[in-house]
Structure 1
Amino acid sequence: MKRRIIIASHSMLSDGIAKTLQFFQGEQEQFTVITAYVDNKPIDEQIELIFNEISVEDEVVILTDLLAGSVNQKFVPYSSRPHTHLVAGMNLPLAMAFSMEPCHEYMSSDRIQEIVKEAQDQVKYVNLLLTATNEDDEDE
């Protein structure tokens, strides 16, 4: 069993996330990047070709940019494939967590939800955090 990670977005966001992951982790053959619509072509055929090359035993994690976006919607039919997980609203911590997850067994739905929650927790309004930190420092 291998884990394949498809990073797909409108325009170049997915390419930037993949390049940043490679910066931190080195070259990863588990990544497939789709930069949708930069060539004004539909992505349906590209997605079909990718899935035709993936073994049925392989686990697939699909990360997309927008829940209601067309890129995510193109992957919805593939979400019923065994061991396939579709996650929208990607960010770098989410992609990094999936790429670092051990590959010796399939991920459970609970583990996917934990990874998503941890990535959501990385989105912070830093000004507010700094204000709270400064207030704590003044109280001491």
Structure 2
Amino acid sequence: MKRGFIIASHRTLSAGLVETLRFFAGDDLNIEVVTAYMTNAPVDEDLKQAVAKFDENEELIILTDLMAGSVNQKAAMYLQRPHTHLLTGMNLPLAMAFIMEPANQYLTTERVAAIVKDAQKQIVYVNQLNLEGEDDEDE
């Protein structure tokens, strides 16, 4: 079984994310990038071309930038495609988790939900962290 990825966003966010993924995971990633609104091509055409590069039996993970955005809305048209998962609000921890997930079987809904939950935990307001073991030199 193979797993492919489409990383799609308004403008170049997706291209930067994929560049970073390749830095961490190597160049052999099965990823298509959609940088919507960089040309006069409609986003649905960009997505159609990206999806067409994957075999219909291949599991496909589509990550988009904004829930209410046009990119995600157009990507939702592919939810009827077998073995397709659409996630929005993408971030690097989410993308890396899917890239690193073993591809020996299709992902279950429960596994996808667990990956999302773990990625959400990576969004942290660092100012409010109570760093254990921190020396308070002012006291």
TM-score computed with the length of structure 1 as normaliser: 0.90
Describe the SS at the equivalent of 2:131. helix
User: One-letter code of the match for 2:73?
Assistant: Q
Aligned equivalents of 2:48 and 2:8: distance in 1?
A: 14
User: One-letter code of the match for 1:32?
Assistant: E
Deviation string, structure 1 residues 45-96 (Cα, Å, up to 9, x no partner): 2222222332121000000000000000011110121100000000000000
1:75 alignment partner in structure 2: 75
User: One-letter code of the match for 1:15?
Assistant: A
Mapping of 1:21-100 within 5 angstroms? 21-100=21-100
Unaligned runs of 5+ in 2: none
Aligned equivalents of 1:52 and 1:81: distance in 2?
A: 11
Does 2:131 match 1:133? yes
Aligned equivalents of 1:5 and 1:119: distance in 2?
A: 17
Describe the SS at the equivalent of 1:72. helix
Question: More displaced, 49-58 or 61-70?
Answer: 49-58
Decide whether aligned partners of structure 1 residues 120 and 52 sit closer, same or farther in structure 2, where only a CA change above 3 A counts: same
Describe the SS at the equivalent of 1:7. strand
User: One-letter code of the match for 2:131?
Assistant: T
Root mean square deviation of aligned Cα = 1.6
Aligned equivalents of 1:104 and 1:9: distance in 2?
A: 28
Q: Percent identity?
A: 51
| Higher share of residues assigned helix | 1
Instruction: Kindly state the Cα deviation for residue 25 of structure 1 after the two structures are TM-superposed.
Output: 1.1
User: One-letter code of the match for 1:84?
Assistant: T
Aligned equivalents of 2:52 and 2:134: distance in 1?
A: 56
Decide whether aligned partners of structure 1 residues 134 and 103 sit closer, same or farther in structure 2, where only a CA change above 3 A counts: closer
Deviation string, structure 1 residues 91-117 (Cα, Å, up to 9, x no partner): 000000000000000000000000101
